[in-house]
Structure 1
Amino acid sequence: MGRTSAFCPLDIIDKGKMRRYDIGSGTAVFLVVLLAFFGAFLVYPLGYVFSNAFFPGGRFSLAFFRLIAGQAEVLFNSLRLGLVTTAATTLLGLPLAFLMARYRFPGKGPLGGLLLVPMVLPPFVGAIGMRQMFARFGAVNLALLKLGVVSEPVDWFGEGGLLGVVILEVLHLYPIMYLNIAAALANVDPSLEEAGRNLGAGPFRLFWTVTFPLMAPGYFAGAIIVFLWAFTDLGTPLVFHYYPVVPVQIFQMVSEVHENPMGYAWVVVVLTVTVVAFYLSKRILGRGEYGMMGRGHTGQVERPLGGWKLWLAYIGVLAVVGLALLPHISVVLTSVAERWFFTVLPEEVSLKYYGKVFSHQLTLSSIRNSLFLSFLSAFMDLALGVAIAYILVRRHFPGKEILDVLAMLPLALPGIVLAFGYVAGFSGTCLDPRGNPFPLLIISYAVRRLPYMVRSAYAGFQQVDVALEEASWNLGAGPLRTLRRITLPLVTANLLAGGVLCFAFAMLEVS
């Protein structure tokens, strides 16, 4: 008895004889809707910003860019903040990554998890705690004065607050650098390093001539993320009252977006820096070859760690984690302090302020609004992300690469850029955020975090064998039932991971 099979759109691509693309009318309509969505909420705001930056009043002019040239210190401060933060996270993340990737010791798993904790804590909240802890007569200075270490309070952050911003950015962003370097080290072929040792290379020469060149793609991936994050961060400089940086200047110009076009010019400058950073990274990496025949065998090169080196590793990791959590511990202590004046620790503690959080009208409405906006934006990301990922993996259609780029583009755009484009571009429309901010906030949160869901779902669909879907079709199930009963249950873990990221980052969004 011959085997029968139901019609499957994927067969068209496999055979390549009937037609080139496999899109039905439903998929075509969905693609049109997607393009309209990205055109309205991604391309249009950016185009609006560029048109007003270069054509104020309808005429081409570079006048506002000349004014920016006269405020070069603002751009220099932002670049310095990004570069110093990147360098500091490298110095912190590199030894931690080497420790976790190259050595084996008790408690390695829990310590690795602790190193990632600061990444999920909002930096602007940590900034509040750091200001409290390291103030002129804060807990740290008072403790040092009591111990006789110093004779007068130390100005920890110097004039202007730049040092405080850098420290907090480093303590928040080092996990990103650590993760990228650790992943890159895991992919380095151990035999190449062994060959270098056999030829007489010492540890430092081996690192600079063999290991670092091979892990360069992973390092630069982390460095670009850290640099752009620090360069465009808004919340931390605001808390430290460090205003001469580009994101704060753009934020202050939102209220006068129609009277002062300088904000448009600053947004173009931020986009230019972003593009240049990606271009330089691509040029640097494009000069070499990074492929290796063997990789991922880090277990073979892990060396046992013991004695004083083990204790040094424990102390170092716990010290880094402790410093990163210290500002947030200060926030917790402040939240329960009934009386805390000129003492190292609170004199009296109380939980009554936690009761007020859920009874005070302002805080209660703020919590409710944050949960509502984050939930709806995450749900929107789930619906869009699953659909986009599915057609990218399972369908072949013209412009497939363009859709992939549009879906991932928000990841490369600083939040302050999108926010300014939305406020300016939709001013005077039904989506004007100064009238009712909720619709545009939900859309902006969703667009900003959509890449997380697309990539999570994309990876899940790639790991589901299409033969399982074909079997469902052969048994008479339609595409939607197959998706609901077969495909989605198999990618549930991926969707949960993407959804949690979308929801969490929406809750922590500042820019």
Structure 2
Amino acid sequence: MFFAAFFLWPLWVTLETAVLDPKGQITWAYLKEVFINPLYREGLLNSLLIAVWTTFGCISLAMPLALLYVGYRFPGREAFHALALSPLMLPPFVGALGVQMILGRHGSLNSLLDAFGLIATEAPPDWLGQGRMLGVVVMNILHLYPILYINLSNTLSKLDPALDEVASSLGAGPLRRFLRITLPLTLPGLFAGASITFIWAFTELGVPLIFDFDRVTSVQIFNSIRDLSGNPFPYALVLVLLLATTLLFVISRLFFRGDQTEGGGRAMRIREIKSPGRTTSSGITMLFVAVTVLALGPHFGVLLLALGRDWYGTFFPSSLTWDHFRSALGNDLTLPSIANSLRYAGASTLLDLVLGSAVAWVLVRSRIRGRALLDGLVMLPLSVPGIVLAFGYLALSREGKPLDFLITDGDPFFLMVVAYSMRRLPYVVRAMSAGFLQISPVLEEAAENLGANPRRAFMRVTLPMALPSLVAGGVLAFAFAMLEVSDSMILAQRTVHFPITKAIYTLAGTIGEGPALAAALGVWAMAFLMILLIGLSLILGRKVSSLVR
């Protein structure tokens, strides 16, 4: 019922409004207008271009790195792999502030080039590109390539090295072996990571907003939330996004079913990691250093912006100060936003833990029909763009609509909790399913044979043993709910109810110290997420990357 009310229903309302006219008759006029109207068509084309270039850029970065990590030993190998998720610790639209300070017309790069006389001072180049599309693509690539890298590393590590060795003994060169053996076997993992990357970039909202690039569909939807009554075109835009992402999801299910290495690719023995010469291993290390520094560039830019007292037209800020960090925790906007995010994320995580544990138990322990369907439905929120769900919630929670009871006295607390919970529920279900699978049902049966009822057996035997998985799912759900963007930007309408991410966006557009305060709040958020993930690794005794791939 929860899933039907807060996932399927919002999607249905969006579909219904987009294809029904005021008389209740089916019409395709609104959808046609999306493709006929030059403004909407340009937004869709730009979104598609951003998604395509972002996906291509992520593959170009991730594939070589994954091949080198899996195949060779080199100095810093495990350290660089552990740093793979670090770009994900900063919301991309916060990182966009750092990219602006580095690549803007009066940013660090142009200041450095001007100092060496390599550019004209009066007409510095615009590295972010006309309309800032290049800046959006660069920021997306630097933020999202770890998703593909983790997927590809996991897939490549499971391939049977004997296949490559046999092809080599038959005279196939490295490129031919890659194209004929490695690439086909890694396509499921590649497509899975590429699909997530494409959908994320196609529907990204925060980065275009920071770059003031409004000619993309996500920003057009965001700008239309003030005019929903009697206006079907925003719903039609949302439906187009939903159809595009659903089509991609269906294609992935049809063409890449089953195990990632189906067809004899799974390793029957441990892969031998080669030890190249000193020159080669040093070169691999330098490549990883270069990519890591590039990926963390936005983080450095945000940190310097938060520390800088004045940073305009110079390579580094003219002076440094801690005032922005102190102000970020005492500002009239930031302090309530931190409290709001803790409330929203905390309550949604508790809800996810209860629902996720129950769903996972049904999937793993029960024998009821429809478990496969339930499993697929629970995972659907990962394939549906956040902006689509948020728009559906907004449409259903307006005054007089069925879900308006979730907003009490203007406070969207319950609405935010439901929205955050639905988006992060799959994390808890997957974590708890893995935990229950590792616990033998014999232990529960033994407890019941000793007189414990099923509930007592679950509470005293199963749950304590599954506690690490419960902690893992809960920490991930809480951490990413704290930095949720789409729901926060669309559903929190009044300043007093802003969560952290919307407070950062608001400060970034404020004249004066606003961008520096936004950067400082972003650094605090990044530090918070990093502490959570490091703590999670220590508690579980394994890498966080193994939990999120």
**TM, length-normalised to structure 2:** 0.83
State the distance in 2 between where 1:74 and 1:294 align: 42
> Quick one: percent identity of the two aligned structures?
43
Give the counterpart of 2:14 among 45, 49, 58.
49
Q: Match of 2:536? A: none
State the distance in 1 between where 2:408 and 2:291 align: 41
State the distance in 2 between where 1:248 and 1:349 align: 34
In terms of mean alpha carbon deviation, does 500-509 or 429-438 score higher?
429-438
Q: Match of 1:147? A: 116
Q: What is the CA distance between 1:365 and its match in structure 2?
A: 0.4
Give the counterpart of 1:468 among 394, 418, 443.
443
Give the counterpart of 1:353 among 310, 321, 324.
324
Q: Which amino acid aligns with 1:63?
A: A
Q: What is the CA distance between 1:292 and its match in structure 2?
A: 4.5
Cα-to-partner distance string for 1:190-211 (whole Å, 9 max, x where unaligned):
1111111111111111111111
Give the counterpart of 1:90 among 40, 59, 66.
59
Structure 1 unmatched ranges of 5 or more: 1-35
Q: Match of 1:6? A: none
> Is 1:421 matched with 2:392?
yes
State the distance in 1 between where 2:265 and 2:119 align: 55
Decide whether the 8 Å contact of 1:134 with 1:140 is kept in 2: yes
Q: Match of 1:486? A: 461
Give the counterpart of 1:66 among 29, 32, 37.
32
Q: Match of 1:10? A: none
State the distance in 1 between where 2:469 and 2:332 align: 37
1:326-365 equivalent positions in 2, closer than 5 A: 326-365=297-336
Q: Match of 1:118? A: 87
Cα-to-partner distance string for 1:388-430 (whole Å, 9 max, x where unaligned):
1012211122332332222211111100000010111222222
C-alpha spacing 1:143/1:280, structure 2 compared with 1 (3 Å):
same
Give the counterpart of 1:197 among 168, 171, 175.
168
1:394-409 equivalent positions in 2, closer than 5 A: 394-409=365-380
3-state secondary structure, aligned to 1:305: coil
3-state secondary structure, aligned to 2:309: strand
Give the counterpart of 2:351 among 380, 385, 406.
380
Q: Which amino acid aligns with 1:446?
A: S
Q: What is the CA distance between 1:256 and its match in structure 2?
A: 1.1
Q: Match of 2:139? A: 168
In terms of mean alpha carbon deviation, does 491-500 or 82-91 score higher?
491-500
State the distance in 1 between where 2:359 and 2:113 align: 57
1:77-476 equivalent positions in 2, closer than 5 A: 77-152=46-121, 153-285=124-256, 290-293=261-264, 295-296=266-267, 299-428=270-399, 429-432=404-407, 435-476=410-451
3-state secondary structure, aligned to 2:2: helix
Greater gyration radius: 1
Q: What is the CA distance between 1:301 and its match in structure 2?
A: 2.8
Q: What is the CA distance between 1:72 and its match in structure 2?
A: 2.1
Q: Which amino acid aligns with 1:59?
A: Q
Q: Which amino acid aligns with 1:159?
A: Q
Structure 2 unmatched ranges of 5 or more: 487-549
State the distance in 2 between where 1:148 and 1:375 align: 53
Q: What is the CA distance between 1:188 and its match in structure 2?
A: 1.3
C-alpha spacing 1:503/1:83, structure 2 compared with 1 (3 Å):
same
State the distance in 1 between where 2:91 and 2:260 align: 38
3-state secondary structure, aligned to 2:130: coil
3-state secondary structure, aligned to 1:256: coil
3-state secondary structure, aligned to 2:334: helix
Decide whether the 8 Å contact of 2:43 with 2:217 is kept in 1: yes
C-alpha spacing 1:267/1:298, structure 2 compared with 1 (3 Å):
farther
Count how many residue pairs are aligned between Structure 1 and Structure 2: 476
State the distance in 1 between where 2:9 and 2:259 align: 37
Q: Which amino acid aligns with 2:302?
A: V
In terms of mean alpha carbon deviation, does 221-230 or 106-115 score higher?
106-115
State the distance in 1 between where 2:349 and 2:268 align: 37
C-alpha spacing 1:97/1:228, structure 2 compared with 1 (3 Å):
same
Decide whether the 8 Å contact of 2:195 with 2:248 is kept in 1: yes
Decide whether the 8 Å contact of 1:253 with 1:260 is kept in 2: no
Q: What is the CA distance between 1:286 and its match in structure 2?
A: 6.3
Q: What is the CA distance between 1:298 and its match in structure 2?
A: 7.3
State the distance in 2 between where 1:332 and 1:209 align: 45
State the distance in 2 between where 1:422 and 1:470 align: 43
Decide whether the 8 Å contact of 1:452 with 1:501 is kept in 2: yes
Q: Match of 1:37? A: 2
Cα-to-partner distance string for 1:444-499 (whole Å, 9 max, x where unaligned):
00001100100110011011101111111112222222222211221222112211
